Amino acid sequence: MADVDILMPSDIAESSTSGSFNRKQHLMSTFEAYRSELDADNERREKLIIISRSITQLSKKLIFHLHRNATSLSTNLKEKCLKEGRLKEREIWINFKKIKDELNTIGSGTSEEAKQGFWRWNRQVSPGLEEYIEALSFLYYLENKSLIPLKVVQKSLSDEDGDPLVIVTPEDYILGMSDLTGELMRYATNALSTGDHQTPLEVCDFVRTVKAHFDGISPQMLYKLSKKQEETTRSLEKIEKVCYALRLRLIEFADKPEVLAMIAKRALEDAADKEERSRDE
């Protein structure tokens, strides 16, 4: 044991007091710089979260607006509803412009810095973006009875010169389409109540195609989708039940449209009851 070195704090007393005093001063000024950097980042994060939230709110409102009149049998009302929907969609667009403006304040304001910033703050922006894609795709479906292509989504989210305000990834798009199936289920059920018998059948076809394609995506690739697929499956089952009842009655009462309308209404009420019961369970 006697051979073991013992290191005593020899001249540590002087050297470390002066040395560490300098070190402390130096560190304090470095960390003051970090403080301003973190503060600026936090401020930007907060701003983007607020914009993203208002995009979510406005998108939800747009979806409700579309549900209110999209199933109307009067072509006039329906067209007016879609036109108003477009106006509301452009209001949301203004908020995406605000996001771009905010990203443009990063650093010296170059487009590279803005793009860098977009990916940095992507998690703050994406909840609003997802909701917007859902609303936009629903609007597009009502206008065209078809699926909005990714390119059209990106174009809707570009400025006057065609430069993207935010970047829409395939992931954002696919998650948005998955949410769309839920809206279409509601749309199909509403259509039934107004006696529109074509819509549920069309929607059923559409949702089936979407579900089939998404079933091919492995959960490792897009984990969030696998959860949403369960919801899509439930929506599809509801639509299929509606179509089943509808088909039988269409055959049975082919020559009595007024009876059809009444029966359809009853079927709808049944479906609503069941949904409530399953929710209670």
Partner 1 sequence: MSTHTTTRAQTVSETLSSVIELLENDQNLKKQIRESIEPIDDLSRSAITELNKLHSAPFSQHKEICENSINIISKTQPLWIDVAKLIPESEFYRYQFASGPTMRNLTTSIVLARFILHDELTPSHTISNLLGLQTESTSVLQLSAEDYLQGVIGAVNELPRLSINAVTSQNFELPIKISSFINDIFASYSLLNLRNDALRRKFDSLKYDLKRCEDVVYDLTLRGLTKPRE
Binding stretches for partner 1 (CB under 8 A): 4-13, 16, 19-20, 23-24, 27-28, 30-32, 34-35, 37-39, 42, 112, 115-116, 119-120, 122, 145-147, 149-150, 169-171, 173-174, 177, 202, 205-206, 209-210, 213-214, 216-217, 221-222
Phi/psi of residue 161, nearest 5 degrees: -90, 0
Q: What one-character-per-residue DSSP string does 84-132 give?
A: HHHHHHHHHHHHHHHHHHHHTTSTT--HHHHHHHHHHTHHHHHHHHHHH
Tell me the closest approach of the beta carbon of residue 197 to partner 1, in angstroms: 12
Tell me the closest approach of the beta carbon of residue 73 to partner 1, in angstroms: 19
Tell me the closest approach of the beta carbon of residue 103 to partner 1, in angstroms: 11
> Is 150 or 261 the residue whose CB approaches partner 1 more closely?
150
Tell me the closest approach of the beta carbon of residue 35 to partner 1, in angstroms: 5
- Please provide the size of the chain in residues: 281
Phi/psi of residue 219, nearest 5 degrees: -60, -25
Gap between the terminal Cα atoms of the chain? 74
> Is 97 or 120 the residue whose CB approaches partner 1 more closely?
120
> Is 35 or 68 the residue whose CB approaches partner 1 more closely?
35
> Is 70 or 103 the residue whose CB approaches partner 1 more closely?
103
Tell me the closest approach of the beta carbon of residue 157 to partner 1, in angstroms: 16
Enumerate the β-bridge partners of residue 158: 164
> Is 62 or 133 the residue whose CB approaches partner 1 more closely?
133
Helix (H, G, I), strand (E, B) or coil at 164: strand
Q: What one-character-per-residue DSSP string does 9-44 give?
A: --THHHHHHHHHHHHHHHHHHHHHHHHHHHHHHHHH
> Is 186 or 211 the residue whose CB approaches partner 1 more closely?
211
CB 125 within 8 Å of CB 99: yes
Tell me the closest approach of the beta carbon of residue 53 to partner 1, in angstroms: 17
> Is 31 or 64 the residue whose CB approaches partner 1 more closely?
31
Tell me the closest approach of the beta carbon of residue 148 to partner 1, in angstroms: 8
Which is it for the CA torsion 134, 139, 143, 148, positive or negative?
Answer: negative
**Dist CA 263 CA 248 (whole Å):** 11
